[in-house]
Chains A and B, each alone.
Chain A
């Protein structure tokens, strides 16, 4: 059986996680799309912590007989891995976009210098006569 204290700590911790994530989103310090995986993590952990019979049943399915809360750790670890993997894809995309922007800046600066040179030369060769 799951000790009642383990369930209580699990409930408080996952509720806290959900609240912190919501607060971060509310303060616009975390975007909704990146909050979703965290909220899912919190929700799943909350359900598994509160629903003691469910946790025990899942644990016995998995053959974890001595200490059912171990399943909580396993699920939490799995979700953290998911979140990290998701972030790796986000970083990769950002890297590509960053390089693309750097290349555009380099090309635009060159184009701007060329245009400025062109304008300067034209101004020199045909001085504007003031009326």
Chain B
């Protein structure tokens, strides 16, 4: 806890990712400057927690499955409690490439942003072309959040983010529990956080299964729409230190 004010914590939510988590933790440990790696195990039924611990990560084990948002928030609460000034969040399946982290951290190091989102859509000439339905969904969410949050955003579905202390404080206290990314972006904007987006490449997932199915994506869309609507009617206290 002594030097954690200078260090960066990497929060990695993981559910049944024993095939990918070891390599990801190793890659994060190679990062310069050194990162503290915290894997939040959302009550996996496989050996995710053991593999992560064997590779030297700090493991936070949830006693039952709370969903991605609750898992991520556990990591941010850890960061808050231990006094970290910076945090990054990467998915446990390995699709977020640690080599892209310098891009995410740069605006925070410069003091230009409280929240940086790594997106595949910032650069219009980017190579990523998702299926039409997905692209449409992402664009509609982005428009909505831009409208309700008062700042143009291009991709609010990305979970590849970096935070400064203000961001850590906000998300440790307030983070949606399921399908959290879109709403979290709006909450950040409405709480006065400075948001930057940077273009990143993402990898294809190598093992495990994506959690998105057809019925779930319908639920996802409806749930997120409702959350955005309600979040825009709610009042969020502006955070001390947030200077947007």
Contact = CB atoms under 8 A, between A and B. Distances in A.
Given A106-B74, A110-B60, 9 more contacts: A103-B74, A103-B77, A105-B62, A106-B60, A106-B61, A106-B62, A107-B60, A107-B81, A110-B61
B40 interface: yes
A109 B74 CA distance: 12
A95 B176 CA distance: 12
Nearest to B43: A102
The winner among A106, A107, A110 for most chain B CB atoms within 10 A is: A106
Contact of A105 (B59, B63, B70, B78): B63
B221 interface: no
Contacts of B63: 102, 105-106
Contacts of A102: 62-64, 66, 70, 74
Contact residues of B: prevailing secondary structure:
mixed
A8 to B, nearest CB: 46
Interface string A67-109: 0000000000000000000000000000100010011011101
A84 B175 CA distance: 27
**5 nearest CB pairs, A to B:** A106-B60, A103-B74, A99-B70, A99-B66, A106-B62
Contacts of A105: 62-63
A109 to B, nearest CB: 6
Given A99-B66, A99-B70, A106 B177 contact: no
Interface residues of B, number: 16
Contacts of A107: 60, 74, 77-78, 81
B81 A106 contact: no
Interface string B66-83: 100010011001100100
11 contacts: A102-B66, A102-B74, A103-B73, A103-B77, A105-B62, A105-B63, A106-B74, A107-B60, A110-B59, A110-B60, A110-B78
Given A103-B73, A103-B74, A110 B58 contact: yes
A109 B61 CA distance: 8
Interface in A30-58: none
Interface in B40-95: 40, 58-64, 66, 70, 73-74, 77-78, 81
A105 B64 CA distance: 10
A37 B64 CA distance: 32
Contacts of A109: 60-61
Nearest to A96: B177
B62 A103 contact: yes
A99 B177 contact: yes
A109 B177 CA distance: 22
A14 to B, nearest CB: 37
A104 B61 CA distance: 10
Contacts of B66: 99, 102-103
Interface in A102-125: 102-103, 105-107, 109-110
